[in-house]
Structure 1
Amino acid sequence: MLSAYDYHLPEGRIAQNPAVPRDSARLLVVASESCQHRIFRELPQWLQPGDLLVLNNTRVIPARLYGRKPDGANIELLLLEEQAPNRWLALVRPGKRLKPGAWIEFRADFALGSPSEESIVQAQVLEIDTATGGRIVQFDLADRSLWQLLPQLGQVPLPPYITESQADPEQYQTVYGDRPGAVAAPTAGLHFTPELLSHLQEQGIHHTFITLHVGVGTFRPVEVEEITQHTMHGEWIDVSPETVTKIRETKRNGGRIIAVGTTVVRALEGAAQTGVLQPHSGKTNLFIYPGYQWRVIDGLITNFHLPKSSLLMLVSALIGRERLLSLYQEAIAQQYRFYSFGDAMLILPEARI
C-alpha cells in the first residue's frame, strides 16, 4: 500500500546545494546486517576488482521555458520529450490557461525582463496529453530545430523542492553526461569526479554506460493507494551491445554489477524483460516494487528519495521496505542530506533480500 512507503523528513534535511567537491558527499554503506557512515570518495574500499559500475550518461537539457500568451499571461513549460520535429510533450503551468489552439511566445531573455524582438519564438498548443496532463506543443521554427535554440530559450530545471540553491547549472550534470535528453539529473552519478573514476579504474573496478533520459516516469508521484495499479510513463533507454557484452563478461568472471542510480536499474532490468539482458533502444515503462525478480544488477548506489515515490519502492525491492525505512531514519538521525543534491547510499550485494 502507498501509505506504507511514507516517512517524515525534516525540511532542513533537503539539500539545497551540492557537496563541493562532488565526492565529499556522505555515503551510507549498507552490508548484510550492518551499515557504516563513510565519505563517497571512499567508494573504492567497498568494491572489488572485477566489479562493473554502470552509469547513466544522459545530460539534462535546458527544458524549462518561460513564455507569455498574447494577452500577456505568463506561462511556464517543462519540456518532456520530442515526439516529432519541433513537436514536444510538455508540462505546463498554469494548465488551465493553455487549451488546444492557444499560442505562446518565448523570448531568449524573458527571464531577464528585457525581451528583444529578434528573439521571439512562437508555439501552438495542439492537444492535451491525458497520460501526463501535459500539452503537445508545436514550435513554429521553419527550418530551424528547437534543439539549437534551447541554450538561449531555456533553463536547466531544478526539482521543485530545491528553492534556495546557489548551484551552477553544471553542478546539476554528471561529469560524464554527454547525451542530451533528460529533464532531471541521474543524481546518484553527481558524486563522481574524473579522479574518482580513474582511481576506480586503477583498482580494476571498471565502468560502462547506459542512457535513460530521465522524464516524467521517474519523478511522477504515485497517486493510487494500491501501488500495483500505478502505471509508469515510458522513458527512452539505450542499452548498447558493448554494455551488454561487458556485463556478461563481468558476470562470467565472477564480478558484480553495481548500478549507479535507479535510472540505471530501470534501463538494465527493462532491457532484460525477456529473461535475458539484450541490447535495447526504445522506451521502458518498467515499474519495480517489492516482489520483483531481479535479472541483472547485484548492488546499487543511490541517493535518498521522496516519501511514497516509485524510486523508494524500487530500492525497497532490493533490500526490503522495513529495512530501507529504518536506514532512512538512521540517515535522518545522523544528519544526512536528502534528495537530488543530497548524500548517497551504497547497497552491497550481500545486503539484498
Structure 2
Amino acid sequence: MEKISYELPDVLIAEHPASPRDASRLLVSIPPPSSSFHSFVRTRAKLLAPKRLNDSYADLKFSDLDRILPHDAHLVFNQSKVIPARMFASRASSQEPGVFEVMFLSSEEYNMTEAMQQPDCDGMLWRCMIRHPEISVGDNLSVKEDSSGKQLSLEVVHIHSQWKEEEGDGVEASVKIVRPNAGSEQHLSVESAFRIFGNVPLPPYMKRQVEKTDGEAYQTVFASLPGSVAAPTAGLHMTDELRQRLLKMGVKISLINLHVGAGTFRPVTAQTISQHTMHSEYFSVSQEEVRDLIRSLKLERPIVPVGTTTVRVLESLYWLGVLHEQSKSAERSSKTFSLGQWEAYQVAASTDNLPTPTAALESLAEAGNTIEGVTSLCIVPGYQFRLCDGLITNFHQTHSTLLLLVQALLQTPGLCDDMYRHAIDQRYRFLSYGDACFIANAHSHANKSEQPASTEPNSSAYSPGGVETPMRALSTQLDPGTKVLLHSCCAPCSGAMIEQMVEEGQEVTILFYNPNIHPREEYDVRKDENKRYADQLNIPFVDLDYDDVDEWYRRARGMEFSPERGARCTMCFDMRFERTALYAHEHGFPYITTTNATSRWKDAEQVDSSGIRAAAKYPGVEWWCRDWQTEAMSQRKYNINAEQSFYKQEYCGCTYSLRDSNEWRKKEGLERIKIADGNNVYSDAEKDAEEESLEVVAQFFAHTVSDEQERKRKLRETYGTRKKDAKSAAKNNW
C-alpha cells in the first residue's frame, strides 16, 4: 500500500534507547490555531524552538513535554508489562541444525492478565508465530534453557495462516505446552516458564542480540500488569522525574491496560485496508479511570494518549459505550466487551444521533468496576476521534496500520509523509527505541473556541487597532483559592473577566501598569475607572508608577510606524507583562494573566506569547491562558460596561495608536478622538457590541494595512522633528 510506505535508512533505526529516557527527541507537529488547545501548543512550540526550520515543526526534547502541555492536560498511559515472550526452539524429530524463533502472541484460553497468573503451564494452548516455513500440525518443538539444561516441549496443534515478514517468513499456529515430568508434584507456573525459557521480545528490525539492560529498558516506568509481547513504546520516554513535574503543574495522569500483541508489527500486505485482518488485543480499564475521563471531558481538559495502543483503548471505550447504551442489556454489561475491526464505522453509519463522548462513557461506567474485553478496532483516515485531542507516539514502521492511525489524526493528506520526511532529514531515530512525536488532533474537542455571532458593521464605530484572529489561548481550570495577579489595561476589558474569576473562587489582585498610555489625562481616567470597579468588588488594586514612560519610548524607537499587531505591540506586551511577572515573583502570585486577552482588537496568540515569555523569566510564575473571548464572555463584558457606565476609550493607548485611529476616523468622516472625555461612556450593550464587531475590526485593519506606506510618507517628516517637552513630562508623556 503506497500511502503507508516510506524509505527509512537503516542507520536511523534505533538499536538502543536514549539515556536518560527523556533525552530522546520530540518532534512537535505545530497545529493550526483552530482551537485553544492547538493555540497553546502552537505558542509553546514556537517559543521553545525559535530557530526552527519552518512553522510546521518544532524539534525539541522529550524532557520539554511539561513545557508543551497545558496545566489541565490529561495524559493517558498504557501500564501493560512486557513478558519475555520470545523462545528459541528446534524440531525434536529433525536433525536440522540451529534453532528458530517461537513468539508467543496470546493465550487461547485466558486473557493475558489471567494467563500470566496460572500456576501451571502444562497443557495450556497458546497462539504463536513460528519463524519456520515448514512447520506442520503434530510437530514437537523443543525449547532448552542453556545454563540449567531445563526443557520445555511445544506441540503444534493447528496452523492458522502464513506469517510473512521481511525478517523471515513463518506460520501463525496454536501450540500446546507440554512440560516434561508433568506428573510430578512440582508445577511450573506460566510466569516461571517465560522467565526461564523466554527472552525479551525485541523487534526483529533491531537486528541484534538481547542485552542485559533490555530487561529494564524495554519496560515503561508504569509497567505493572504482565501480558504484552511488545512494549507500548511511546511510554518508554517517560521518567519518574518528568512524571513528578507534570503532576506538580496540574496535569492529570491516568493508567489503562492493553496487552500489546505482535500483530502491531505485522505489515499490511493486502491491496486494500479492507482486506487486512486487524489483530485483536485484550484491554482493561478501571471504573475510576473511566470516571476521570468523564470529568476531563466535562471540564474540557485536553485528553492526550501516550501511544497508539492507548488511543485504541480510548476510542474503543467510546464505541463500547455507544453499544452498551443502545443495548441497555444487563446480560451484556455483565460480560467482557468486544469491538470488531469495522464495527465502529458500521455503528456510525447506522446511527442518526451518536451520543457525546461524555454520555457514552457514563453509560459504560455503569457496567462494572472494571471495563475489560478485546478490541480489533482499525483506525484509518476519515475516522473521527472522540477521546483523543492529541497523541504522543514514536515513528512507526512502513506498511503498518499505525501509520494509518497517525494519518487519520493529522487529517490533511500528505501531512504524515511531510512529517516523516522532516524526521528523516533531521536524523530522528525511528521505531521502538527511537524518538517521539507530538501530534494534535486536527478536530480537537478540548477548549474549542466559540464562534462569535455575526453582526453588521457600524460605520460610526471607533477602532483602536488590531484584528481578531480565530486562535485562542488554552483554557485552564485553576483551583478555588488560587492567587492570580491580573494585569489590567482598562476597566471595560476587566469587568467580565474579574467577575468570572471571582465566581470560580480565585483570589484576584489587579495590577495597573501601562506606561504606554498617552497622554497622562487619558492614563488617569482609565486607571481611576479601573480602581473604582476594584473597590466596588473589594479586590486589591496595585498601582505601579508611570515613571517608565521614557523606557517605553526607548524600546519603541524604530517601530513608530509598525502596524497594529506588529513588532511595537509585541514590545509593549513584553514590557508590561515582564513587570507583572516580576511583581508576582516578589509577592507570591503563582499565576498571572491580562485583560488584554478579552479584547477583540488584540491578536490572542501575540498576547499569550508575550505572557508566556514573561512568566518564564521568574521561577514559580506561570502564565494563565484561557479563552476570554467566547461569545458569552464578550456579551457579559458589554453588559457590565453598560451597567457600570465605564469610560469608553477610543484607541488602544499609545500615541501611535491614537495617530492611526484618528487617521482611520478621518477616512470614515468621523470626528477626531476626544482625550479623556468623561461624557463618552458605555450605555447600550447591544450597540456597543455591534460597534466592536469582528467586521468593524477587520474593516479597520484592512484600511490601516493598505494605507500604511502612504501614512509613513506623510507622517515621517512630522514625527522626525517632534521633541519631548520636559516641562510637561510630569503630566504627559510627550
- TM-score interval, normalised by the smaller of the two chains: over 0.9
Partner residue in 1 for 2:106? 81
Aligned-residue offset at 1:68: 2.0
Contact 1:103 1:122 in 2 (8 A): yes
Can you list the C-alpha shifts for 1:60-89, whole angstroms capped at 9, x where unaligned? Answer: 111111122223443320000111362111
> C-alpha separation between the residues in 2 aligned to 1:226 and 1:104?
36
Can you list the C-alpha shifts for 1:70-110, whole angstroms capped at 9, x where unaligned? Answer: 234433200001113621110002131x211111222222x
Partner residue in 1 for 2:157? 126
Contact 1:32 1:352 in 2 (8 A): no
Structure-2-length-normalised TM-score? 0.45
> C-alpha separation between the residues in 2 aligned to 1:209 and 1:28?
24
Aligned-residue offset at 1:351: 7.7
Amino acid at match of 1:14: I
> C-alpha separation between the residues in 2 aligned to 1:131 and 1:76?
15
- Once the two structures are superposed, the pairs formed by residues 247-286 of structure 1 within 5 Å of their partners are 247-274=293-320, 275=322, 276-277=360-361, 278=364, 280-286=371-377
Percent identity of equivalent pairs: 39
Partner residue in 2 for 1:69? 91
1:310 aligns with 2:401: yes
Secondary structure class of the residue paired with 1:208? strand
Aligned-residue offset at 1:153: 0.5
Contact 2:90 2:142 in 1 (8 A): yes
> C-alpha separation between the residues in 1 aligned to 2:6 and 2:133?
30
Partner residue in 2 for 1:185? 231
Contact 2:140 2:154 in 1 (8 A): yes
Secondary structure class of the residue paired with 1:311? helix
Aligned-residue offset at 1:241: 1.0
> C-alpha separation between the residues in 2 aligned to 1:129 and 1:146?
23
Secondary structure class of the residue paired with 1:272? helix
1:108 aligns with 2:145: yes
> C-alpha separation between the residues in 2 aligned to 1:246 and 1:287?
25
> C-alpha separation between the residues in 2 aligned to 1:258 and 1:246?
13
Partner residue in 2 for 1:294? 385
> C-alpha separation between the residues in 2 aligned to 1:66 and 1:14?
24
Amino acid at match of 1:27: L
Amino acid at match of 1:169: G
1:240 aligns with 2:239: no
249, 270, 273: which one pairs with 1:224? 270
Contact 1:69 1:75 in 2 (8 A): no
* Range that drifts further, 292-301 or 211-220: 211-220
Amino acid at match of 1:130: S
Contact 2:29 2:439 in 1 (8 A): yes
Decide which structure has greater strand share.
1
* Range that drifts further, 295-304 or 83-92: 83-92
Contact 1:50 1:253 in 2 (8 A): no
Aligned-residue offset at 1:348: 2.8
Aligned-residue offset at 1:148: 2.0
Secondary structure class of the residue paired with 1:59? strand
> C-alpha separation between the residues in 2 aligned to 1:245 and 1:41?
29
> C-alpha separation between the residues in 2 aligned to 1:58 and 1:263?
10
Partner residue in 1 for 2:727? none
Secondary structure class of the residue paired with 1:137? strand
Contact 2:388 2:444 in 1 (8 A): no
Secondary structure class of the residue paired with 1:55? strand
* Range that drifts further, 219-228 or 36-45: 219-228
Secondary structure class of the residue paired with 2:387? coil
Cα distance change, pair 172–178 in 1 and its aligned pair in 2 (3 A): same
95, 108, 114: which one pairs with 2:133? 95
| Structure 2: runs of 5+ lacking an equivalent | 33-55, 110-120, 164-170, 323-359, 366-370, 446-734
> C-alpha separation between the residues in 2 aligned to 1:254 and 1:352?
10
> C-alpha separation between the residues in 1 aligned to 2:428 and 2:397?
14
* Range that drifts further, 68-77 or 185-194: 68-77
Aligned-residue offset at 1:349: 4.2
> C-alpha separation between the residues in 2 aligned to 1:66 and 1:296?
40
Contact 1:319 1:351 in 2 (8 A): no
- Once the two structures are superposed, the pairs formed by residues 37-52 of structure 1 within 5 Å of their partners are 37-52=59-74
Partner residue in 2 for 1:56? 78
Can you list the C-alpha shifts for 1:1-31, whole angstroms capped at 9, x where unaligned? Answer: x212211111211111110000000001122
Contact 1:6 1:308 in 2 (8 A): yes
Can you list the C-alpha shifts for 1:117-152, whole angstroms capped at 9, x where unaligned? Answer: xx1222211111238641111112334333222111
Aligned-residue offset at 1:216: 3.1
| Count of residues in Structure 1 that have an aligned counterpart in Structure 2 | 345
Poorly superposed stretches of 4+, deviation over 6 Å:
none
- Structure ranking higher on relative contact order (CA contacts 8 Å, 6+ apart): 1
- Once the two structures are superposed, the pairs formed by residues 195-214 of structure 1 within 5 Å of their partners are 195-214=241-260
Decide which structure has greater helix share.
2
Cα distance change, pair 12–340 in 1 and its aligned pair in 2 (3 A): same
> C-alpha separation between the residues in 2 aligned to 1:207 and 1:93?
39
> C-alpha separation between the residues in 2 aligned to 1:316 and 1:352?
15
Cα distance change, pair 66–164 in 1 and its aligned pair in 2 (3 A): closer
Contact 1:13 1:337 in 2 (8 A): yes
- Give the alignment's Cα RMSD to 1 decimal: 1.9
* Range that drifts further, 74-83 or 335-344: 74-83
